[in-house]
Structure 1
Amino acid sequence: MEKSDFTKTEYYRNRELSWLAFNERVLSEARDKTIPLFERLKFLSITASNLDEFFMIRVASLKDMVNAGYTKKDIAGMTAQEQLDRIGEAAQKLVSLQYSTYSRSLLPMLRQHGLNVIQEHEALTEEQGEYVDRYFRDNVYPVLTPMAVDSSRPFPLIRNKTLNIGALLSKKNPEGKEKEKELEFATVQVPSVLPRIIPLPHGKDGSRNVILLEEIIERNMQQLFLSYDIICASPYRVMRNADLTIEEDEAADLLKEIQKQLKKRQWGEVIRLEVEEKIDKRLLKLLRREFDIRDEGIYKINGPLDLTFLMKMYGLEGFEDLKNPKHVPAPVRELPPDCDIFEEIRKGDILLHHPYQTFDPVVKFVRDAAADPRVLAIKQTLYRVSGNSPIIAALAQAAENGKQVSVLVELKARFDEENNIIWAKMLEKAGCHVIYGLVGLKTHSKITLVVRREEDGIRRYVHLGTGNYNDSTAKQYTDIGLLTCSAPIGEDATAVFNMLSGYSEPAVWNKLCLAPIWLKKRFLQLIGREKEHAENGGEGHIIAKMNSLCDRDVIEALYAASAAGVKIELIVRGICCLKVGIPGVSENISVRSIVGNFLEHSRIYCFYNNGQEEIYCSSADWMPRNLEKRVEILFPVERQELKDELIHILDIELQDNVKAHILQPDDTYIKVDRRGKTALSSQDYFVKEAKDKARAEESPVNSRVFIPEEPAE
């Protein structure tokens, strides 16, 4: 088949609709009755947080396109307006399903287990009412700032994502005077500095009762407007355009420009307005006018606005039997805490599998380098780090110890910009050389280089990873890391940092492959090679695991390989614009999405190569932004036992029949039919395996090398 055969728009799924389908898969975990109740609360909270970001960035971007008159169609042949129309329909259904899950399933089960969420303040008992009124008077009232709107006071700035209560008021008439009441608008922000979930005295039966802060405020609204009658009051929440637009070529100081743009997130165009389903029509009309939003951007909610509070509810003490046991990452057998980490790396490359194995060796790698008098330089890229990062502290200490420390801090890491600005300034004060990324590109690669003087000369130690240097998310995200002192990789690592700091690109690379230079070309070559093997009578086989797949050129190459007979097994957690089951195009392609307790974040690419497997890990997904607009790294894993381990990881995930959702030709996802099969959850498997490996004196890898499938019964 010619390449042109694979370019039809009907062969591709719209990116945004695919993302909404992913969030539905997350929601399906909240609806799964086999999962502990509080874990289901957590998944529902995640779907709400995901949807917020989706509107602030993706929907906002589409609205910008429509406003600018941009008519170019996407990969699936849809204009921006057509996408917005379809997104609106799908998102309304998703929100409806979120709240039916909350109200009809989760709340009744919480009551059964002794936790009662009082949804309306009118339902409080007399004793509870006295308690919340006292709580309001002592804790809430001093914090609130009620704001009225009249001829002298314009409509206030309603900050992005904040929860507010709007009210229509009428002035109390003087005694004996009757006149038509004029309605005035007032609003008060539900303060985020106070807990949203307020515990109440225990019930007589020992049950625990909680109420949300906005209900307490609404109950006591009269205290805020003593000279007025409150005609109606209702919570509302706005989502604003938070997509930063930075003209980097014109920004004299990128750091200052980003700081300025961050403030604009609070008053960008309103993309979405959430209101209570029972809101007074007059109040809704006023909000619609003030926020200049059309009906399709209004979401009438049957329940509490902003379900992200459920993550705080997950943290309530005393319900441990309704949660998964707390995960403690296993130690890495090759790297005991008191080891000489550089000596252990010299013995051979070490593969790390987070969060099943602890992130501590990565922190130790930087800490030990900072303290080691033989270490001359440390260089690292930072995309996202934790709030109290031990990596940052170690880098600062290294600079204070007189070492050459160079850190690329990516200021454009979305929603971490402010955090990264703080760390960048701190590192500069400690004496580190701080680079703020490249103009027009995000530096998304994860690499650390340690230069050490040893008896036989200078040796370079390198850590490469698929995930961020964030010790907090490393407990929740699945990622792969590689520690090596391979000379060719060390040379490439030096070249990477020279390129980032001085725009100096080497003529030849040894092992590493970088985007946007030629990573995409390399992927297309690797896929094309499997196609050639199949066409020449050999066996073509690709297994690839990633977060998202939406690059048209890559999908076309996969279609061409599939048409030639290459077996392609894809593990794609989120967006997938590729379609399966198209006759003559994608019949040899399968796609599965694993949604579980950990967020699947690792990128592993395995090419059979006629029995000479080549296996790579990367910071990059198969997305245009990763391959063309970011600095990304693809690195090979060449030590045979480590290759076997990665193949084993992929194999177990391909056998997952508990958390895997399989993409169907109609673009829906279904869970694996487990009838007659032993249940296998890949994440549970790896948790147990990591602990067993840590305990064992030897840890033989139970792997396979592309064993043909057994015939179906």
Structure 2
Amino acid sequence: MDVDVKNHRYYLNRELSWLQFNRRVLQEAVDPNNPLLEKLKFLAITSSNLDEFFMIRVAGLKHQKENGVKRRDIANMTPEEQLEAISDTCQRLVARQYRYLKMILKELETEGLYFIRPEDASPRQMKWLDDYFEREIFPVVTPMAVDSSHPFPFLASKSLNIALLLERNERDMTLDEENDIDVKTAIVPVPSVLPRIVRLPDNPENPSRHDFMFLEQVLCHFAARLFIGFDLLEARPFRITRDADLNLDEEDAQDLVVEVEKQLKKRQRGEAVRLEYERGTSRFMRRFMTSEMNLGSEDMYEIDGPLDVTAFFSFCGIKGYDNLRYPEAHPHRPWSMIQLSKDGRKNIFDMIREKDLLVHLPYESFDDSVVNFVASAASDPNVLAIKQTLYRVSSSSPIIQALEKAAQNGKQVTVLMEVKARFDEANNILMARRLEKAGAHVIYGLVGLKTHSKCTLVIRREKDGIRRYVHVATGNYNASTAKLYTDLGIFTCNDRFGSDASAFFNLLSGYSDPPIWDSFIVAPINLRQRCMELIDREIHFALQGEPAHMIAKMNSLLDKEIIAKLYEASRAGVKIELIVRGICVIIPGIPGVSDNITVRSLVGRFLEHSRVFWFANGGREELYIGSADWMPRNLNDRVELMIPVKDPDICRRLKNMIDLELADNQKAHIMQSDGSWRKFIAPENKVAAQARFQKLAEQRDREDEMTLAQKMEPYVPVFGKHE
């Protein structure tokens, strides 16, 4: 039977798929395996995710609608239809989010942590709040009247504000004014310089109870003091989310950095795309809140609880409640480095010369591996040059410090700093200027492309000549996210990788034509083509009646051409197992189309970020790691890098890693044939991949290699095992 694998019925909408992912994150807030404060943190993550979704994705769709775009997406939806579906889905998602919040806050009360409103405060607490308002809040707030001579003020994106309705006191009115009562409107921004969550003094008679109150509730209660001569009729918090996408004209920009900085100043002033307001807000007040915004009813979100629950991020770190958080998880020394250091090798270059190294973040240490690599190169007198791509770096980056030192030591330092990395533009520009000041050569991205690859090249003079050391990874050179994201990195001094790395950096910094790559697979040059070829090869084996199997792990799967090829492979008999954390628009289990495809998503303590691709290849298995997801932007519009994994020991470790993730029955969500997701938590024979990886890293750091090797189970081929 002929099947049109490009038919829109076989694809999900990108935006709705992302919202499904955010719902999977939200489910962690009620997962019984998670400690209470970690549940609360997942709620905060869901809220933060939604903010970015509205600022970028919803804003983009609104622009399309306003410009009359009728083009249909991969799922045959117009921008207008997508916006309607998004509003409906988000309204339900937010309602669920606040139901979960009420449940969690109720549980917190059993631990002695209470969130109360002013009307619930004791006289002693109210006296303290009165003093706190006069001493801490009153001096920094700025009440703003809104009338004919005071236009509606511009309110920054994601800022919390209070809208007020006021009426002049009767005692201050003349007889004429009594016959002409005028309701006044005003806005008071909630000061972001003050703690959003206010801790009230403990009651000595009940020391196990701790009360908290939101800053906006305190402000609303005492707001009348800001408007002497007026009675307060209504005070309600609200929050605006604005378009935050940058509109860069790269072709005509004389200086890309200056253009990015110019656009960053406009980010907070983008058009409003969402308004959140407190339940119970009057219709008059809602009209006032939106008086200067082009928002429809579908853009209004009535919130049954505190607005902007990202405030709970800081609260989750409250002292004295470690039992309500995950046990501390520290990164450990990378196992491959432990093995080699036992033979007396302390220098990282000696280790890499001996054997390719694999690092599995965040279970293994970013500092001991990547930072050590760059810092060692910076101080090593035999190192001549360091070249590196940087997409996102932390604000106090040890990588930047090492590169600065290298440049100051006279080494040739070349860095491609991607200044278009969304929401990290300002920090990346700051870091780049630091490097330039130190004497490094900085390339500020490429016109029309984002450089998303993760690669470092160190050129070192040794006794037998020049040697090139290469690090390629799936994750950013960011010390902060290296503790939160699961990523993989490989160190090698293989000549073929070194030669390709030199050609890769020449391509980025000069006018070189793409070379004939030996090992590197580079987007947008040949990555798409190579991925299609690898899937085609499995199709060939399936059509020959031989076992055919592939496993792909990534963050997002969206590219229609790749998905159509996967459907073709499934119909040919190729078994396809996908591990996709976020957006996934392929639909598994459609009879005659995707019977042989399964999709799972792991959502847990750490954010799954690694990209791994494993092909059976007729028994001659091949594995790859890289920086790219299977999305149009990664394959067409970004500089991405994928490499084959050659070292047998690293291949074995990667296979064991994937095998464990496919066996996870605690944190895995499985996509159904209707596009929905289900999570089943097994009561017995529990397998939680992330917890296992953490435990294994601890064991390896603690025990010698021989003892551990005796305890480890031998590798069992995964192909054909998982049904």
Secondary structure at the counterpart of residue 324 of structure 1: coil
- 1:197 aligned partner: 197
Separation in 2, partners of 1:252, 1:152: 41
| CA positional deviation for 1:707 | 4.8
Give the partner amino acid of 2:111: H
| CA positional deviation for 1:696 | 2.7
- 2:146 aligned partner: 149
- 2:674 aligned partner: 666
| CA positional deviation for 1:291 | 1.6
- 1:130 aligned partner: 127
| CA positional deviation for 1:690 | 1.3
Separation in 2, partners of 1:179, 1:259: 54
Separation in 2, partners of 1:574, 1:86: 19
Separation in 2, partners of 1:339, 1:135: 56
Contact kept in structure 1, 2:590 and 2:673, CA below 8 Å: yes
- 2:687 aligned partner: 680
- 2:86 aligned partner: 87
| CA positional deviation for 1:175 | 4.7
**CA-to-aligned-CA distance 1:641-670 (integer Å, 9 cap, x gap):** 111110110000000000000000111111
- 1:257 aligned partner: 259
**CA-to-aligned-CA distance 1:231-283 (integer Å, 9 cap, x gap):** 21100000001111101011111111111111111111110000001112211
Contact kept in structure 1, 2:334 and 2:360, CA below 8 Å: no
- 2:443 aligned partner: 435
Separation in 2, partners of 1:533, 1:333: 36
**CA-to-aligned-CA distance 1:200-256 (integer Å, 9 cap, x gap):** 111332201111111111111112111322221100000001111101011111111
Separation in 1, partners of 2:194, 2:511: 48
Residue among 394, 405, 413 paired with 1:386:
394
Secondary structure at the counterpart of residue 6 of structure 1: coil
Unmatched segments (≥5 aa) in structure 2: none
Separation in 2, partners of 1:47, 1:470: 22
Output aligned runs, 1:94-109, within 5 Å: 94-103=93-102, 105-109=103-107
Contact kept in structure 2, 1:495 and 1:505, CA below 8 Å: no
Contact kept in structure 2, 1:644 and 1:705, CA below 8 Å: no
Deviates more, 1:172-181 or 1:293-302: 172-181
Secondary structure at the counterpart of residue 466 of structure 2: strand
Give the partner amino acid of 2:484: Q
Give the partner amino acid of 2:93: L
Contact kept in structure 1, 2:549 and 2:719, CA below 8 Å: no
Residue among 393, 400, 417 paired with 1:409:
417
Separation in 2, partners of 1:205, 1:526: 66
Residues 1:563 and 1:428: Cα distance change in structure 2 (over 3 Å): same
- 1:637 aligned partner: 645
| CA positional deviation for 1:82 | 0.6
- 1:343 aligned partner: 350
| CA positional deviation for 1:673 | 6.0
| 2:716 is equivalent to residue 704 of structure 1 | yes
Secondary structure at the counterpart of residue 229 of structure 1: strand
Output aligned runs, 1:569-588, within 5 Å: 569-588=577-596
Give the partner amino acid of 1:42: K
- 1:65 aligned partner: 64
- 1:235 aligned partner: 237
Secondary structure at the counterpart of residue 153 of structure 2: coil
Percent identity of paired positions between Structure 1 and Structure 2: 50
Separation in 2, partners of 1:547, 1:704: 26
Residues 1:264 and 1:184: Cα distance change in structure 2 (over 3 Å): same
Separation in 2, partners of 1:707, 1:230: 69
- 2:293 aligned partner: 291
| CA positional deviation for 1:333 | 3.6
- 1:449 aligned partner: 457
**CA-to-aligned-CA distance 1:14-35 (integer Å, 9 cap, x gap):** 0111111111111110012332
Give the partner amino acid of 1:92: Q
| CA positional deviation for 1:170 | 2.5
Separation in 2, partners of 1:707, 1:388: 43
Separation in 2, partners of 1:576, 1:85: 20
Separation in 2, partners of 1:404, 1:391: 15
> How many residues were matched structurally?
707
Contact kept in structure 2, 1:133 and 1:216, CA below 8 Å: no
Contact kept in structure 1, 2:616 and 2:719, CA below 8 Å: no
Normalization by structure 2: what TM-score?
A: 0.96
- 2:38 aligned partner: 39
Contact kept in structure 1, 2:667 and 2:681, CA below 8 Å: no
| 2:175 is equivalent to residue 170 of structure 1 | no
Separation in 1, partners of 2:268, 2:188: 16
- 1:121 aligned partner: 118
- 1:493 aligned partner: 501
- 1:471 aligned partner: 479
- 1:462 aligned partner: 470
- 1:314 aligned partner: 316
Contact kept in structure 1, 2:167 and 2:232, CA below 8 Å: yes
| 2:188 is equivalent to residue 181 of structure 1 | no
Give the partner amino acid of 1:601: H
| CA positional deviation for 1:197 | 1.1
Contact kept in structure 2, 1:288 and 1:294, CA below 8 Å: no
Secondary structure at the counterpart of residue 76 of structure 1: coil
Separation in 1, partners of 2:549, 2:680: 22
Separation in 1, partners of 2:486, 2:445: 26
Residues 1:457 and 1:295: Cα distance change in structure 2 (over 3 Å): same
Separation in 2, partners of 1:158, 1:234: 15
Separation in 2, partners of 1:50, 1:256: 29
Separation in 2, partners of 1:258, 1:81: 30
Deviates more, 1:63-72 or 1:178-187: 178-187
Residues 1:187 and 1:688: Cα distance change in structure 2 (over 3 Å): same
- 2:8 aligned partner: 9
| CA positional deviation for 1:623 | 0.5
Secondary structure at the counterpart of residue 292 of structure 2: helix
**CA-to-aligned-CA distance 1:110-162 (integer Å, 9 cap, x gap):** 001100011x2222111111111211111111111111122222211100001
Normalization by structure 1: what TM-score?
A: 0.97
| CA positional deviation for 1:330 | 1.4
Residue among 267, 279, 285 paired with 2:281:
279
| CA positional deviation for 1:672 | 3.2
Contact kept in structure 2, 1:644 and 1:704, CA below 8 Å: no
**CA-to-aligned-CA distance 1:349-405 (integer Å, 9 cap, x gap):** 001100111111100000000000110101111111112110000001110110100
Deviates more, 1:584-593 or 1:261-270: 261-270
